[in-house]
Amino acid sequence: MDRKIVVIGFLGTVLDYGGRGQQRWQKWRPTVGLCQQDGLPVHRLELIHDGRSRGLASKIAHDITQVSPDTEVRPLEIALRDPWDFGEVYAALHDFARGYAFDTETEDYLVHITTGTHVAQICWFLLTEARYLPARLLQTAPSRKQRPEAEARDTRGTHTVIDLDLSRYDAIATRFAREADETLSFLKSGIATRNPGFNRSIEQIEQVAVRSTAPVLLVGPTGAGKSFLARRIFALRQRRHQVSGPFVEVNCATLRGDMAMSALFGHVKGAFTGAHSARAGLLRAADGGMLFLDEIGELGADEQAMLLKAIEEKRFFPFGADTEVASDFMLIAGTHRDLRQWVREGRFREDLYARINLWTFTLPGLAERVEDIEPNLDFELERHARELGKAVRFNAEARRAYLRFATSPEARWHGNFRELSASVTRMATLADAGRINEVNVAEEIARLRHAWADDTTQADPTDLRALLGERLDTLDRFDRLQLAAVVTECRRCRSLSEAGRRLFDVSRGERKVVNDADRLRKYLGRFGLDWGHINSADQSLGN
C-alpha cells in the first residue's frame, strides 16, 4: 500500500491571500501551490490558523479542492495572542505535536515552513529536530522561470524537502565527523590515546558534555586525570557557549567541620566563632558555570544532605542563614572510592549517590593503559618544551629502553599520569644538549624502582592490626611482611582479578589453567580476609 503524504503548516495570512476574485489565481500562493507539485501528492493538509483568519482559511481550503480534489484539507484553529512571541508559539506547537495522532506506519509527514512568522519557522525546526514531530521540512518558493507577459503565470512554484537526518548529506556528514574528531582530540588534549575502553569513555563524555547538564561522576585513582578532564569538559561547553559562569574546583578531602560548610555553601556574619563577615561560598561562585567536587566521598553527612538539595532545587541555605540563596551550576564529581560500598556501609547518602550516578565514567590508571604510555610520553615532552621554551628529545635507544620498562609489569605507576609527568620532567631537566640518552634513562629507572620498592615492601603494622585485630600477634614476621605487601597491591587495583594478575605475573605463565583471582582469594582466605575486608579498611583509614 502506498504511503500517504501529510503536510502540516500555518496559513500564510499575506502570501496566501493573493487578492480577490480571479486576481488570486494569477499570483503564487504557497499553501495552494504546495498541493500542485509534481511528484508530491498531498493526501492531507493540516492547515493551522488563528481565530482572526477563519475566513481566509475557508477560502484557501476551497481553492485547494479546485486544483487538487484528492487533498483533504483540515483547518485547525489555534489561539495565539501574539504570533511573534517565541514562548507562546513554541508552547502551542509543542502541545499540538504531543496531541497529534501520528501514524508513521502508513503516513509520511512534512512540515511546511514557508508560511507563518519567522518565530513559527524556528519553532517548527526545533520541534522537528528534537523529533517531537516525526517529519521532514518542506519549503516552497515561486517559480524562477521567466515567461513573457502573454503566457499564463506559473502559480504552482517549486518545493524542496529538507531531511534533518544530516547523515544523508555526505559533505555535511563529513564536516560533522571532522568536528566530532576535533572535539574528542580536544578532550584528550591532542593525545592520540590507544586504549579502546578509555577512548570509548571519552566519546560518551563528549556526547554527555554537550547534550546534558546532569551531574557527571568521574571515578579513578589519584593522578588518573579527573581534574584535568573536568577542566576540558568545561572548556568544551564554554566553546559551545553553554556556560556563562566560571569553573570552580575544590578538593573535598581538604574540607573539615564548619569550614567545610562555609567553604561550600557560604555563611552569614556571626555564623560561628571567627565569622566576622559573610562569605558567598563556592556553590554560589559557580552560578552559571561548573563546579568540580574532587573526592566527593570525603564530604560529611551534613554537607552531603545540603549538596543534594542544591543539586535538585538549585537553592540552599548558607551556614547560619534563614534565607535561601540560588545557584544554577553543572556538577562534576570525582572520587577514587567505591561509593557503592560506602553507600552499603552508610558512609555516603544513597539518594545523593543516585543523583550523581546518572553519568559515571571510570578513568583507568596508567598501569591499566600501557598502550597509552607512549603517546603520553610525547605529550609530556611537548609540554616541557612549551613551558621552558626549548625542545628535548630521546635518542632512539634511550626511548626504547624507557618504554620497555614503562610498559612492563615491573612498572607500578602508583601516581599515574602525574608520576609519568614527573619522570619525564626529571629526565628532560638532566638531559644535555636537549637529548635524553641511555644514562638519563637508566638513572630514572633506578629512581622509580627505588620508590616503588620502598612502597611495596614496607609493612604497616597499624594497617594489618585494623584488618586482623589480635590475630596479627599469631603470625610470623614473614607472614606479616608478605601479607602487608599483598594488601598494598590489592589496594592499588580496582578488582581482585587485576591484583591477581600483578601478584602472579611470573608463575601464571607456567600454569595451563590460570585463575589469578581464585589463587588470590584462597591466599587471603588463609588469614580470614576477602576483597571487601581489605578495601573497607582502606577507606576507613582515609587512605
pLDDT at residue 262 tops 90:
no
CA atoms of 369 and 378, how far apart (whole Å): 15
Nearest residue to 354 (alpha-carbon basis) of 214, 250, 536, 248: 214
Which pLDDT score, from 0 to 100, does residue 77 have?
A: 93
Which pLDDT score, from 0 to 100, does residue 315 have?
A: 93
At the top level of CATH, the class of 366-455 is mainly alpha
Q: What is the pLDDT of residues 305-314, one digit of tens each?
A: 999 999 999 9
Question: Do the Cβ atoms of 448 and 411 come closer than 8 Å?
Answer: yes
Question: Could you tell me what percent of the chain has a pLDDT over 70?
Answer: 89
pTM of the model: 0.61
Which pLDDT score, from 0 to 100, does residue 397 have?
A: 94
Q: What is the pLDDT of residues 188-238, one digit of tens each?
A: 777 778 888 888 888 899 889 888 999 999 998 888 889 999 999 999 888
Nearest residue to 348 (alpha-carbon basis) of 357, 339, 335: 339
Which pLDDT score, from 0 to 100, does residue 178 have?
A: 65
Q: Which of 104-108, 109-113, 524-528 has the highest mean pLDDT?
A: 109-113
Pick from 28-32, 124-128, 477-481, 533-537: least confident: 533-537
Confidence of residue 325 (pLDDT cuts 50, 70, 90): very high
Confidence of residue 513 (pLDDT cuts 50, 70, 90): low
Question: What single letter denotes the amino acid at residue 104?
Answer: T
CA atoms of 420 and 144, how far apart (whole Å): 66
Q: What is the DSSP string of 370-439?
A: GGGHHHHHHHHHHHHHHHHTS--EE-HHHHHHHHHHHTSTT---TTHHHHHHHHHHHHHHH-BTTEE-HH
pLDDT at residue 435 tops 90:
yes
CA torsion, points 454, 458, 463, 469, in degrees to nearest 10?
Answer: 170
Confidence of residue 44 (pLDDT cuts 50, 70, 90): very high
Which pLDDT score, from 0 to 100, does residue 164 have?
A: 66
Report, as an integer, the average pLDDT of 280-303.
93
Question: Do the Cβ atoms of 27 and 152 come closer than 8 Å?
Answer: no
Place of cell 508559539: 89
Question: Do the Cβ atoms of 237 and 210 come closer than 8 Å?
Answer: yes
Which pLDDT score, from 0 to 100, does residue 150 have?
A: 38
Q: How wide is the angle at C-alpha 396 spanned by C-alphas 392 and 400, nearest 5°?
A: 105
Beta strands at 216-219 and 330-335: parallel, antiparallel or unpaired:
parallel
Top-confidence residue, 523 or 1: 523
Which pLDDT score, from 0 to 100, does residue 453 have?
A: 77
What architecture does CATH give domain 4-164?
3-Layer(aba) Sandwich (3.40)
Question: Do the Cβ atoms of 428 and 391 come closer than 8 Å?
Answer: no
pLDDT at residue 320 tops 90:
no
Confidence of residue 459 (pLDDT cuts 50, 70, 90): very low
Give phi and psi for 282, each to the nearest 5. -70, -35
Question: Could you tell me what percent of the chain has a pLDDT over 90?
Answer: 41
Out of 3.40.50.300, 3.40.50.10420, 3.40.50.1000, 3.40.109.10, select the CATH number for domain 175-362: 3.40.50.300
Report, as an integer, the average pLDDT of 245-254.
92
pLDDT at residue 540 tops 60:
no
Q: What is the pLDDT of residues 130-169, one digit of tens each?
A: 788 889 999 999 887 544 443 446 788 899 888 766 555 5
Sign of CA dihedral 465, 471, 477, 478: negative
Which pLDDT score, from 0 to 100, does residue 153 have?
A: 61
Sheet of strand 330-335, all strands in order from the earlier edge strand to the far edge? 247-251, 290-294, 330-335, 216-219, 359-362
Same topology, domains 4-164 and 175-362? Answer is: yes
Which pLDDT score, from 0 to 100, does residue 457 have?
A: 41
Top-confidence residue, 362 or 508: 362
Report, as an integer, the average pLDDT of 401-410.
90
Pick from 189-193, 361-365, 498-502: least confident: 189-193
Q: What is the pLDDT of residues 266-283, one digit of tens each?
A: 888 877 777 778 888 899
Confidence of residue 254 (pLDDT cuts 50, 70, 90): confident
For the chain, what are the domain ranges?
A: 4-164, 175-362, 366-455, 461-540
Report, as an integer, the average pLDDT of 16-21.
76
CA atoms of 514 and 233, how far apart (whole Å): 41
